[in-house]
Structure 1
Amino acid sequence: MSEENTTRIYTVNLAKAWDTPKYRRTDRVINIIKEFTRRHMQTNKVKIDQDLNRHIWSRGKKNPPRKIILRMIKEDDDTVVVSSFIEEKGSELSEESVEVEEPKMQEEKKVEKEPKMQEEKKVEKEPKDKSK
């Protein structure tokens, strides 16, 4: 057998989980991922990575993600390890870029509020006399 592991990347649509009751949606998502992996990697031994599991469960049992990008690695003993592909892209972002964006948004909001306050004028309406 070859020593190299087979690696594939798939985007999986998880919308079928919305056909089940709300309280079972995330459980159904896990089963959909396992079924998808069995079909495409042609093995019955599937392991879901801990980080992927946490990502799926992060929004609770009733609101799992609609689709997810997966990395599937088939090892020599026909075991497939499924992990999230998005996490690696997210780690490339530096913390500095996130810090720079937030203050700009706050400054823009402050600038917008000040002119509005100056432009607003109180208009008093005189009551109409209906004493006729």
Structure 2
Amino acid sequence: MSESGGMVKSVHVIPLKRVYFGRRMNRADRAIRLVRKYVARHFKDAEKIILDPELNKYIWSCGREKPPRRVVVEIRFNKNEKEARVFLKRVK
């Protein structure tokens, strides 16, 4: 984690394996919710969580039924505004 002023940057690998345990038709929806839940758990002060459109496209890239098993993201948390922004770091 690197800090500069009120900004904290960190890279996380979020496992999305849990979304495969439920119904097939809702997997990408649940993957998005799981990413938000993961960020909320790791950045407890975050009142607002914003996902990058590229991350959303990547999760939905193989359709609703087959999201990726894991995703590498960069989370930028602004302490002053209590806002966490989630960006796609790299595609495997």
| TM-score over 0.5 (shorter chain) | yes
Tell me which residue corresponds to 2:62: 59
Query: In structure 2, what residue type is equivalent to 1:49?
Result: D
The TM-score, its normalising length taken from structure 1, stands at 0.62
Post-superposition offset of 1:20: 1.6
Q: Distance in 2 between matches of 1:20 and 1:84?
A: 25
Q: Which runs of 5+ in 2 are unaligned?
A: none
Q: Which runs of 5+ in 1 are unaligned?
A: 91-132
Higher Cα radius of gyration: 1
Tell me which residue corresponds to 1:40: 42
Question: Is 2:74 the partner of 1:71?
Answer: yes
Post-superposition offset of 1:4: 3.7
Is residue 8–residue 73 contact of structure 1 (8 Å, CA) maintained in 2? yes
> Which of the two has greater helix per residue?
1
> Which of the two has greater strand per residue?
2
Q: What do residues 80-132 of structure 1 show as CA deviations (whole Å, max 9, x unaligned)?
A: 00011105xx8xxxxxxxxxxxxxxxxxxxxxxxxxxxxxxxxxxxxxxxxxx
Which of 3, 6, 9 is equivalent to 2:5?
A: 3
The TM-score, its normalising length taken from structure 2, stands at 0.87
4+ aligned runs moved over 3 Å, structure 1? none
